[in-house]
């Protein structure tokens, strides 16, 4: 009976680590997606300024129509990248899951193999 109990405890511990690993992985995926979105948004602002500058140069007869069109195409590409960078799961959802994981770990207390809460 003691062996069975210990075996079940290890199975629970193994499952706990699987859940913790999955939560951590999703958290970092969401964090990376948030960063990609921020970079894409920043680059979009630069591309918008590029279109404005190209338009102003074209009006001043310092730039050709193809230069302006190239700036517009680049802006459209950046807008597409920004839309694609939108995270599937908002970071706050993942952060909430991580907080719940920490609460569970603190409530149940550490076991011999899990001395650290979720990270």
Per-residue pLDDT of 4-13, as tens digits, reads: 888 888 988 8
Domain assignment present for 109: no
Report how far residue 43's alpha carbon sits from residue 36's, in angstroms, rounded to the nearest whole number: 10
Domain assignment present for 87: yes
Domain assignment present for 78: yes
Confidence of residue 19 (pLDDT cuts 50, 70, 90): confident
| Residue with more model confidence, 19 or 90 | 19
The 10s digit of each residue's pLDDT in 71-116 is 999 999 999 988 888 766 566 666 676 677 667 666 655 544 444 4
How many domains would you assign to the chain?
1
pLDDT at 35: 87
Share of the chain above pLDDT 70, in %: 74
Domain assignment present for 119: no
Domain assignment present for 7: yes
- Cα dist. 80→14, 71, 76 in Å? 42, 14, 6
* Residue 1, Cβ density class (10 Å: 0-12 exposed, 13-18 middle, ≥19 buried): exposed
pLDDT at 114: 47
**Rounded to the nearest 5°, which phi and psi values hold at 111?**
-105, 170
Q: For the chain, state the CA radius of gyration.
A: 25
Confidence of residue 47 (pLDDT cuts 50, 70, 90): very high
Task: Give the N- to C-terminal CA distance of the chain in Å, as an integer.
Answer: 35
What is the domain extent for residue 57? 2-93
Domain assignment present for 108: no
Inform me whether the pLDDT recorded for 41 exceeds 50. yes
Report how far residue 85's alpha carbon sits from residue 16's, in angstroms, rounded to the nearest whole number: 31
């Amino acid at each position: 009976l003691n062996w069975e109990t210990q075996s079940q405890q290890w199975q629970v511990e193994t499952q706990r680590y699987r859940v913790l690993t999955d939560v951590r992985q999703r958290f970092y995926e969401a964090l990376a997606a948030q960063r990609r979105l921020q970079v894409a948004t920043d680059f979009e602002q630069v591309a918008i300024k590029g279109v404005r500058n190209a338009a102003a140069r074209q009006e001043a007869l310092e730039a050709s129509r193809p230069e302006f069109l190239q700036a517009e195409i680049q802006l459209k590409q950046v807008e597409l990248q920004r839309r694609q960078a939108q995270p599937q799961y908002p970071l706050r959802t993942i952060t909430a899951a991580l907080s719940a994981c920490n609460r569970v770990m603190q409530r149940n207390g550490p076991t011999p193999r899990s001395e650290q809460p979720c990270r």
